[in-house]
Each structure stands twice: as structure tokens, then as C-alpha cells.
Amino acid sequence: MNAPGSNDRQDRETPRTIIRHESDSPRERSTCGWRYLLLSREDRGLAAWAHAVDIDGAREHYHKIATEIYYVLEGEGTVRLDGVEHPVQKGSIVHIPPGVVHGARGRMRVLVVGIPDISESDLFFPEKPGTVPNLS
């Protein structure tokens, strides 16, 4: 039996406490850059996910279901929301509701929190960059 907060990711159907260090988290390439999966789809029963992302030029995309929150930990750049560039720097927070086409430029380390849990089936790319999707 695993102790609460252990790093074992198997059979996680009920919410419980998790304590995990970035160095113990899987790292993978994403649409936005390299990300550490701090809390993610492998952790069953969670209401949200959290990734530490080293953004190096995020391809514009949107979600039909998920809301994302970006908190800039280090660096600076811009976040593009529905075609409008917004400067961000260490300490900036960005709330991105479903349907908002978003991307980022610059060199930043960002804590990205998604609600509900991440799903590859909820990742979409606009037909033309900067265009707002029709979600109806």
C-alpha cells in the first residue's frame, strides 16, 4: 500500500494529497515549450492540472472546455489572446477562458494551471493564426 503523497501514479481514482518535486515529474515537449507534469492526467481524480512550462514560442491554440491560468515565474514576453498582444513579466497572471485563441512569445518560465484536467481531445488550432473559433 502506498503512503499518501507518494509518487506512485497508479490507480488514482479518488482525490488525495500529493507532494511532488519538479525533478520527480515527467518532462515532455508541448505546444508551448518544454513542460514538467507536476500534476497531470496520470494523477486520477484531480480537479485541475499544473505544469511548469519553459515557454519558447507557444503555437496559437484554444480549448473548448478547459480554462487555463498562466503565472509567470521568470522571464518576460507577450501572451497573445484572440489576436491581441499583452506584455507579461515575472509576477504577471493571465486567465484564459475556453474559446480564447492563445499563444506566447519570449523566454518565460510559467506555472500553467488548467481546469478541468488536461485532455488531448480539448486541444484545437485555429484555421488561420489569430482567428477566433466559432464554438457553437
C-alpha cell at 41: 492526467
72 CB-side CA count, 13 A: 21
Per-residue pLDDT, 41: 78
3-class state of residue 134 by DSSP = coil
For the cut 90, the answer to whether the pLDDT of residue 12 exceeds it is no
This prediction's pTM: 0.81
Calpha distance 78→113 (Å, rounded): 18
Q: What is the pLDDT of residue 1?
A: 39
Res 124: pLDDT: 93
Domains within the chain, CATH numbers bracketed: 23-122 (2.60.120.10)
User: Amino acid letter at 100?
Assistant: V
3-state helix, strand, coil in the chain (%, to 5): 5, 45, 50
Query: pLDDT digits over 92-132, tens only?
Result: 999 999 999 999 999 999 999 999 877 889 999 998 765 66
Cell of 120: 488531448
Radius of gyration of the chain (CA): 15
Nearest residue to 19 (alpha-carbon basis) of 36, 39, 34, 48:
39
